[in-house]
Structure formats: structure tokens, C-alpha cells
A and B are shown apart, each in its own frame.
Chain A
């Protein structure tokens, strides 16, 4: 009646598996043993190369299940876990799976009990195998072998050392991905070869069987080093996903120690070169005055010159911004005292703006020049220099809080807006600024100085018109 008739009591069974990853063979044997009611502790499972000698006296013949034996039940969850877990390198895996199968017969819903130790273990094995497969998909690196035989063409060969018996199970992935490419994957557990039509298996290989390099690896290493952002070093995150054991077969991994070592230095250099560390914003005009004299954040500050601070009432409604101090301003230490300043004064007076009531300053605080003999010739500041100096003009604006800012020239406009605008496009109308004040843009008086004849008259007329519009707007605002 029971299976016991067919099983000798106390017999110890030994099952030799033909391959370490042969799930179908295990399933067939396990089914027969379970049908004969052989308890888990009476079976030894031995994989190729395993320690089978210990069980030399075990029974190798399988018991024959009785005709009326109950079918062995296993749910889908168990089968899918078992198919993966069997690829694990843990020699205990076959016994564990059999024990689970055995217990499933009396408790079909056991796989749901995640707190059970056997269930947890098989899930862990499954997880390890899936991770190993995933890392194989990621970290296999092919190297090109050019064949002399024209017919054969390019052949890509990889050397990989998986932790578990996953090679055969992942053949499909590489076949689907590289269907029209000849490739081989060599591992210490066996090898795979694909010739664009058929897959074949080969014996275990050694590292020396695989090619030693590929010219493309220089480009790949350059890419790896360039895409890395030294400003954010997270070595732990890298090691978690790319443990050191994989490094030896990845061409880019050789760079890692140097990249890490150089990172802090590279970031410091980046900060020094580009993003300048400004301290807290100064909150008085005299603090700004002091700070700009010490400012060396752009090359202009390195020249032989003096910073020129803005001047005028601290509560002025109008702020007039020029480009930068000129030769005379640099010597006197006050803005707009040279030829352009005199011209400005004349036009202001003509339209009825009191310069003494306005705060007059420059977008760039130092005089930029080139030395020609005894003379210092004016040079336009670069966009980056203007942007660097915005820190100071913004600090001045934050203290004076003018209702209206008049920017004269393209440099001044950039200093206020952060972008380059065309004067002819924006002049004559207000541009709202973030703090609620408004910006008017006009030409720089030195532009008028460089013209003569009708052109100068025309520009002078436009300049006056802009100044008059500013005066009217100021009256409206106050």
C-alpha cells in the first residue's frame, strides 16, 4: 500500500548529477524519490567534482515509485526559484531544494511564509544567481580578434569568471543581443561559441586563451575617465555595485585608484579656476570699497591698477552704471572724471538730471588696459570678467536700492542682466529687474567720443532722448 514496500528502510541514496546546472535531471530524480517517500536526510546529492567518496556505500540505484504513488506537487513559485537556485555554487543547494519539495507536499502554501528559514535560503540563492547573471550581462568585455581568413571576419572573444554555474543559462541573452556577430565567452567552468547561426559549447578555458587587449579600450578608458565627475566622489556606491572581484577583467577598472586620488585635487582646481568662493555679501558701501581693492578674482585685478568705487548718495533713486574706470579714473580713484565723464556731465545737465543726486558706478571695478609705450590703452572687459564682477555691482545695488538703473553700454547691460543684449534693440524702454526696480539701457558716452559729423549728432540725439525718458520716468516713480 505505501511506498515503504519499495524502499529499503534506512537506505542511503546517492544521486550523481551529470552537470552542476542540470535542473531537469534533478527534477526527475527528486520526483521519484519523493514519490517513494524517501526523507531528505537519506539522500546525498553529488555534483561533478564534488566529494562523492564519502557516500561510496550509498545506494546508487533509484527506487521505483509504486503504481499508485501520489503525484508530486510543486507550485510555479517553487519551480522558478529552483531553476535559478540550482545554478548556485553552494553544494547544499540540491538537498535544500529537495527538503523544500518534501515539505511542500504537506503544506502547499509554504513558499508564502517568508519567515521560514528554508524559504529564506532558497530566495537568497535565487537572488545571488540573478545578481551574478546580471553582472555577467554587464561586465563581460569582448575583445576583437581580426582573423586572417577573409571568410571568417571579425571574432569577438571575452574572458569572464562567474561565481555560479550561470554560463549556459545566459547563452540566450548574448545570442539575442549579438545575433549577427561572431563571439566566444570563455570561463573557467566552460565556454560558449556563437557563429551567427549556431551555439556550441566548449571545455573550460584559461585566461591566456583570451586575447590580451583591444585598441578600442583606449577610447573606452578615456570615456570612463571623462564621464566621471570629480566633484562628487561616492566610492562606497561604486563598490557596492561593482565589487573589486570583477575589476581584473574590466579594462577601465585600472584607472579607478588614480581617478579617486586625483578627484579632490581636480575639484579644488575647478573651484579655484571657475567657481570663485566669495564670502558673505558685504553689507555696507565702505565694506565693498575695501573688498574690491583686494579683489583678484579675474585677470584685470592682477594688473597694475586701483579699484574705483561708485560714488553718490546711499539712498539715490537713480543708479548710473558705466563699463569700467579709464586711465584718469584709475589715477584719481573716482568714476567718470575723464573725457567720457565730462561728456556725460554735459548731457545730464542738458536734460536736467542732477549727477550729484545719482549713484554713479561701473560694471567692472578695475581698469583693463594694454601698455603701449607710456600709454595705457583701454581694453573691453570680457564676458567672464563682467560676470565675475557682477558680485560687486549686485552688492552695491542691494545697499543703494535704486528705483531705476541706467546702464550705459553693452558691458554695463551685461553686468545687470547676465546676458549680452543689443543696445539698439533694448534702448528706450524699461526692463523689469528682479527686485522690482527697472533697468534702462543706453549707449556709453565714450561711443559718442569716437564718432564725428552727422553720425555723432544722431547718436547724441538718441542719447539725450534716452536720458530725457529716464528723467521723466524718475519723476513718475518718485
Chain B
């Protein structure tokens, strides 16, 4: 076969990387290139340099070093038995591409992952080599996210953390049985063991920096993971439970959900219909409820329907509120922050504004309308000086009143 050009390799290896959901470049240590030899800065907030028509942000150059793989995971387009075109970058090629893109302000940095070639250690060493050249030879101070391989030697994974802003290990599937079935070469215990090791490295490095100013940083943007939704039989309740355990046990920054989507050359063991994209969205919403709204995993599970899944037509917060109507209406002039955060339609910012404004005036419904996105959504669940939802909260058809209307139009579309 003729030698592939960089353009051809990029096409194959970016295409192969697109099933990874994460592209975040936020939450790392602040750094810039003043006084250095190279380029690059991270100032806390992530930057999305472009958006693709799939609505996803393009922040990092997200590629695989190679899509050759000795593993045979059914949901993965790069599995050994798949018929896709294969390509392989050298570490230097990835470095050159990253710097050329960064100089033109296309990207915030690099997100590098790889298929397993030869063995796990060899692959991990190659990934680390890319980061080493960028950091040491080019004094690159942009964002680097490295995917680590659970089967690799912990010493090499540790090295990755010293160069990278973030490291991640994918748990892949929400249940162990799903993993055994769909990723026969992977082992749930090994994945969690590797995440545990990264967590202790993170804690240790943080501790060292408290005592020694120049102790090396270790993945200042922490670790994250990803789960594929809809490839096995796990319900939303299972997934939320798993995610909250992962947050607790491994101090993850983020759990990403990726709705299983049809991949070229898929294996026949997979369910062949894709789950609705909205399911992924509902899971992210529940993730937000747990991280910013003070919901416990048990609260989110209470919002699921009989089949253990979150309703698709309404968001999980509204679903919870409709199930626990006795908690409403909430008086916006008196209620605590925790109570206000439970009101469907009130976000963290709106609650902050209400708490600040009510020191100055007794809020009327019109005032609340100025502070929120949609007063119709909020109205059934609150009281103000001039408003009381006397019968609204108890109406049996409240759900249909509040659910987005577009669903109903589809009746006629068909």
C-alpha cells in the first residue's frame, strides 16, 4: 500500500476518535507562555474553538495515535475484527499537527487516545512520548488530555499525569455484565483499580504541593470517565447509581455519557437501534442535579419511571417535582435556597438572584418573571406576594400542561 499522507491519516484517526464525548478544556491550573520558550495558555475557562453540526464543541485536537487494536470490543469501531481503514501517526507527527493548529488558534490543545498496539505498555509509552515532546522540547503550555490504558504499568500512567492536564480511563459500560459481554478483553476490576491509582496520585500530588511549592503538578484538571448509554440493558437508575459511586470513589471531575450511535462496521451483538439522543441529555441533566442542585442519587432514582428510566418527554427535575407535589408550592420570599433549587424552571443563577433581590423587595410574580427564563414553567410550583397556585399544583394533567408541546405535534406529522 502506498504511504499515507498526513491528510489521509488525520481523516482516519480523527474519524476514529469521534465517539469519545469529552472535549472539555476547563478547570485546569492557570498557565501562560510569558517567560517561556513556546506557546500556550490555560486560564481556567475552557474555550470551544468551533462547533460541528452535531452540536458538539471542538476544543481540542481529538485523535488517536493509531486505530490498530488488539482488543475486540463490540461497540468500538476500531475493534480487531472491524473492517475499517487503519492508520498510524508517529509521535512527532502528532506534535507537529498540534502545534500548527494551536498557532492558528484552532484548538486549546490535544486529546490523545489510542488503539492498543503490541501491548498496553508500549501503547501507553507512545502516548506519553507525544506529551513529553510537546512539554519538554516545545515548552507547550496548552491543554493536554491523555487517555490512559488500565492494563498499562502504573509507573507509565503516572508519567502521563505529570505531563497532562487531565487523564481519563473509560469505564465503557454501566454494568459489569455488559462489559464482559461487549468488551471481552476488558476487566471491570482492572479499570476501577487504575482509576483508584490515579485518584491516589492526585491526592498525593495535591498534598505535596501544600508542603513544597515546586512539587510537580499531577493532572491539575483531574480525571474523568465515559460510559456508553444504550448498548446494554442498563436502566437510567443503574447508570445514575454507577455514576454517583464513581464520583464518590474516584473523585472524578466528570462522568461523560455517550449515546450509543450506529458505527460503521458494527458487530451483530449490539442492539441495532440507537437510543434516543434525548436519553443522553436527560442523563446529563440528572448529573447536573447531583452536582449543582444538591440532589442525592436516590432523589434522581425516585424521578425514574416504572422501567427504571427517566422520562424522555420532561426533564428529571420536573419529573421529581410532579412525583413529590407535597413539597410545593414554595414561597419565593421565604423558602430556603435548597427548597428553591428544587423548583422546576429555577436554575442556580435564578435562585441566586431571587435570594439577593428579596432582601430589597417582596417579590411579586412579575418580579420573578424578570429573573427566570419562563414563568409559565415556574408558576405552578411557587407562591409570591400576589400569586398562589391554588388548584394548579394538584391538577392531574399538570404534566401534559408543562411538557414541551412539540411532542404533541408529532401526532399529526405521522
Give residues in A with beta carbon < 8 Å to B. Answer: 109, 112-115, 120, 134, 137-144, 156, 158, 173, 175-181, 214, 216, 218-220, 222-224, 226-238, 241-242, 250, 252, 256, 259-260, 263, 267, 270-271, 273-278, 297, 382-384, 387-391, 417-420, 434
**Known A176-B32, A384-B83, A390-B269: A138·B48 in contact at CB below 8 Å:** yes
Cβ A223 vs Cβ B10 within 8 A: yes
**Chain B residue contacts of A232, Cβ below 8 A:** 54-55, 259, 261, 277
Q: Which residue of A lies closest to B16 (CB)?
A: A226
A235:B39 contact, CB within 8 angstroms:
no
Which of B104, B177, B263 gathers most chain A CB within 10 Å? Answer: B104
Complex Cα gap A388–B269 (Å): 8
Cβ of B290 < 8 Å from any Cβ of A?
Answer: no
**A216-B104, A224-B52, A260-B53 known; A274 and B262 CB under 8 Å?**
yes
Question: Could you name 15 residue pairs across A and B whose Cβ atoms are closer than 8 Å?
Answer: A115-B371, A178-B39, A180-B33, A220-B106, A227-B15, A237-B51, A237-B56, A241-B51, A259-B52, A275-B262, A275-B270, A384-B82, A384-B265, A418-B74, A418-B269
Whether the pair A112, B359 counts as a contact (CB closer than 8 A) is yes
Q: How far is the CA of A270 from the CA of B261 in the complex (A)?
A: 10
Most interface-central of A226, A260, A267, A420 (chain B CB within 10 A): A226
How far is B104's CA from A139's CA once the two chains are assembled, in angstroms? Answer: 10
CB-based contact B14/A226 at 8 Å: yes
Q: A176-B32, A177-B39, A274-B266 are in contact. List 8 more A-B contacts (CB 8 A).
A: A113-B360, A138-B48, A140-B105, A179-B34, A180-B33, A231-B262, A297-B268, A419-B72
Task: Evaluate whether A180 and B36 lie within 8 angstroms (CB atoms) in the complex, with A142-B103, A218-B7, A232-B261 already known.
Answer: yes
Residues of chain B within 8 A (CB-CB) of A179 are: 32-36, 39
Pick from B12, B15, B50, B80: contact of A252, CB under 8 Å: B50
**Known A141-B106, A270-B262, A275-B266; contact A181-B47, beta-carbon cutoff 8 A:** no
Q: With A180-B33, A222-B10 as known contacts, state yes or no: A234 contacts B39, CB within 8 Å.
A: no
Q: What separation, in Å, do the CA atoms of A137 and B56 have in the docked complex? A: 18
Residues from chain A with a CB closer than 8 A to the CB of B411 are none
Q: B268, A390: Cβ atoms under 8 Å?
A: yes
Question: Contact at A180–B39, with CB atoms within 8 Å?
Answer: yes
Of residues 153 to 209 in B, which have CB atoms within 8 Å of A's CB atoms? Answer: 177, 181-182, 184-185
Contact A114 B353 (CB under 8 A): yes
Minimum CB–CB distance for A436 against chain B, Å: 12
Q: Establish whether residues A383 and B7, one from each chain, have CB atoms under 8 Å apart when the complex forms.
A: no
CB distance from B9 to the nearest CB of A (A): 10
Say yes or no: A112 contacts B357, CB within 8 Å.
Answer: yes
A228 contacts which chain B residues (CB < 8 A)?
A: 18, 52-54
- Closest CB-CB distance, A441 to chain B, in whole Å? 14
The CA-CA distance from A271 to B11 in the complex, in Å, is 20
Q: How far is the CB of A172 from chain B (nearest CB, A)?
A: 9
Our pick among A175, A224, A250, A273 for the contact of B265 (Cβ within 8 Å) is: A273
Contact of A219 among B10, B52, B360 (CB under 8 A): B10
Inter-chain CA distance A434–B181, complex, in Å, is 9
Q: In the bound complex, do residue A227 and residue B105 qualify as a contact, i.e. CB atoms below 8 Å apart?
A: no
Is there contact, CB below 8 Å, between B83 and A418? no
Distance to closest chain B CB from A299 (angstroms): 11
Complex Cα gap A222–B13 (Å): 11
Please report the C-alpha to C-alpha distance between residue A117 and residue B104 in the assembled complex, in whole angstroms. Answer: 42
| Neighbouring A residues of B14 by C-beta, 8 Å | 222-223, 226-227
Q: How far is the CB of B20 from chain A (nearest CB, A)?
A: 10
Number of A-B contacts (CB under 8 A): 221
Chain B positions within 8 Å of A229 at CB level: 18-19, 52, 54, 56, 261
> Binding site of B, secondary structure by majority: helix, strand, loop or mixed?
loop
B104 touches A220 (CB 8 A): yes
Q: Is the CB of A156 within 8 A of B268?
A: no
Cβ B15 vs Cβ A226 within 8 A: yes
Across the interface, B262 reaches (CB within 8 A) one of A137, A250, A267, namely A267
Q: How far is the CA of A419 from the CA of B184 in the complex (A)?
A: 7
User: 1/0 per residue B35-62: CB within 8 Å of A?
Assistant: 1111111010101111111111110011
List B contacts of A274 (CB < 8 A): 262-266
Selected contact of B50 from candidates A109, A224, A233, A390, CB within 8 Å: A224
Q: How far is the CB of B372 from chain A (nearest CB, A)?
A: 11
Report B334-365 CB contacts with A as 1/0, cut-off 8 Å. 00000000000000000001101101110100
Verify A434–B104 contact, CB threshold 8 A.
no
Contact A383 B81 (CB under 8 A): yes
Cα distance, A473 to B407, chains bound together (Å): 56
State the CA gap A51–B32 with chains docked (Å): 42
* B370 touches A (CB below 8 Å): yes
Neighbouring A residues of B19 by C-beta, 8 Å: 229
Asked if B101 lies at the interface with its beta carbon under 8 angstroms from chain A, I say yes
Bound complex: CA of A297 vs CA of B266, how far in Å?
12
Report the nearest A residue to B356, measured CB to CB.
A112
Check A417 against B54 for contact (C-beta < 8 Å): no
A180 partner residues in chain B, CB cutoff 8 A: 33, 36-39
A391 touches which one: B18, B268, B356, B370 (CB < 8 A)? Answer: B268
Contact B55 A238 (CB under 8 A): yes
What's the Cα separation between A144 and B104 when bound, in Å? 8
Across-interface contacts of B262 in A (CB, < 8 A): 231, 267, 270-271, 274-275
Nearest opposing residue in chain B for A266, CB measure: B264
Query: In the assembly, what is the distance between CA of A416 and CA of B32, in Å?
Result: 55
A387 touches B269 (CB 8 A): yes
- When distances are taken between beta carbons in the complex, the residues of chain B under 8 Å from A178 are 33, 39, 103
Q: Are B272 and A277 in contact (CB under 8 A)?
A: yes
